[in-house]
Amino acid sequence: MNIIEIIALTKSYGAEERKVTALDAVTFSVTKGEFLAIVGQSGSGKSTLLHLLAGLDRPDCGSVFVDGVDIFTLKGDSLAEYRRRQIGIIYQFYNLIPVLTVEENVTLPVRLDNKKVDKKRLADLLSMLNLSDRKTHLPNQLSGGQQQRTAIARALFFEPMIILADEPTGNLDTNNSNDIINYLARLNKEFSQTILLITHDEKIASRAGRVVTLSDGKIIKDVRN
């Protein structure tokens, strides 16, 4: 069952002679529970694709159906609700809210949704990500790895349909990188979590079940491991 359908997705920046096509009629689909890595060189369109999937940007043309809904028809609160409930996003630079503690950052999407925080789930998640003893710390009191694990916990807490990870290990050392990828792989394996991982690291990409390679905005390779 396809959870994501991407049809002829095109996005360009600039105008006339300065025009750069970041995505050029990209079409593919993702099935539920799939761990997909999107690889490519810098400027190949990986991040643009991820931002479009997160509803953070709008394409020139094409559609993205997530669970049967064209996300580009969503606006305002519905779009915010989509970002809150359907996807969990992990950035390279963590992007935590500096004034909130670890547990407050993690529970942020649920609290923005005015839902009650499931304390047991929070404890389990923090324990799983080795953050139990850091839950009352502010982001600037954490190491890079701890911050990224907090970002993963935030992305997971609402039990989203899809995890979108934009170079989550790009800012981390090898040990921390391995830990993060192990967490993601475990999530996919144990909870059938759909994950779209953007990376330029072939080794990390090899941990995914499927690798899509982008070059100049086009899919040049789509391989299942």
Partner 1 sequence: MSIIALIALRSLKKNKSRTTATAVGIFLSILLMTAIIVLVMSLLSSLIVTTIASKGDWHFFTWNIPSEQVNFVLETGKVQETATIYNVGYAAIVNPSNERKPYIHHSAVSMSIFQMLPIILINGRLPQNPNEVLLPTHFANDYKDIKIGDSIVLSFGKRCSIAGDELSQNSNYMGTSNEGIEQLGESKIYYIVGITEEINFIENDFSPGYTILSLDTNAGFDNKVVYYRLNNPKANFYAVTSIVSETNIAYNNDLLSVQGIVGKENLRGSIVAMAVVLMLIITVASSSLISNSFMISVSERIKQYALLCSIGATKKQIIQTVVYEALFLSTFLIPLGLACGIGCVALSLSSIGKLVSASSYLNLVFKLNVNALAVASIVIFGVSLILLSAFLPALQSVKKHIIATIRQNDEIKIRKEKALKPKKEKSIEAELVGKNFQRFNKKYRYVIFSLVCSMVLFVATSSYCSYATIWINESMELLDYDIVCNTYYDVYKSINNVYLPLSEIVGVSDSGWFSSVDAGWIVFDNSALTDSASQYYSERNEAKETIQYVFVDDLRFISLMTKLHKDVSKFMNKNEMRAIILANIDAIRISGNDYTTETIDVFIDKTVSFDINYMNNDNRQEYYSNPDADFLDYSKRISITADVISRKNLSVELSNLSQASGIYAIIPLTMLDAFADDIPQMVQMFFKAQNHKTVFNRMEKFLTSNNVDAFLDDVTIGYEMQQNTIAMVNIFSKVFIIVVSMVMILSVLNTTLASVLIRKRDFVILRSIGMSIRSFVKTMLYEYSLYGAVSIILGLSLSFLISWILKFSFSASMKFILPINNIVIALLSIIFILAASMTYAIYKILTDNIIDSLKTEIT
Backbone angles phi, psi at 174, to 5 degrees: -60, -45
Q: Which residues pair with 166 in a beta bridge?
A: 198
Residues numbered 58 to 117 that lie near partner 1 (CB under 8 A) are 76-77, 80-85, 89, 91, 93-100, 104, 107-109, 111-114
Indicate whether 14 belongs to the interface with partner 1 (CB under 8 A): no
Strand order in the sheet with 2-13: 20-31, 2-13, 61-66, 69-70
Backbone angles phi, psi at 60, to 5 degrees: -75, -45
Residues numbered 108 to 127 that lie near partner 1 (CB under 8 A) are 108-109, 111-114
- Residue type for position 115: K
Instruction: Select 14 or 68, whichever has its Cβ closest to partner 1.
Output: 14
CB of 56 to partner 1, least distance (A): 5
Residues numbered 192 to 221 that lie near partner 1 (CB under 8 A) are none
Indicate whether 53 belongs to the interface with partner 1 (CB under 8 A): no
Binding mask 155-174 for partner 1 (x = CB under 8 A): --------------------
Which of 7, 32, 43, 57 contacts partner 1 by CB under 8 A?
57
CB of 37 to partner 1, least distance (A): 21
The set of long-range contacts for 66-73, using a CB threshold of 8 Å and a minimum separation of 24, is: 66/3, 66/4, 66/161, 66/162, 67/3, 67/161
Q: Are 33 and 62 spatial neighbours (Cβ–Cβ below 8 Å)?
A: no
Instruction: Select 52 or 211, whichever has its Cβ closest to partner 1.
Output: 52
Question: Residue 122 to residues 45, 64, 131, 154: CA-CA distances in angstroms?
Answer: 35, 31, 10, 10
Query: Applying CB under 8 A, which residues contact partner 1?
Result: 51, 54, 56-57, 76-77, 80-85, 89, 91, 93-100, 104, 107-109, 111-114, 139-140, 147, 154
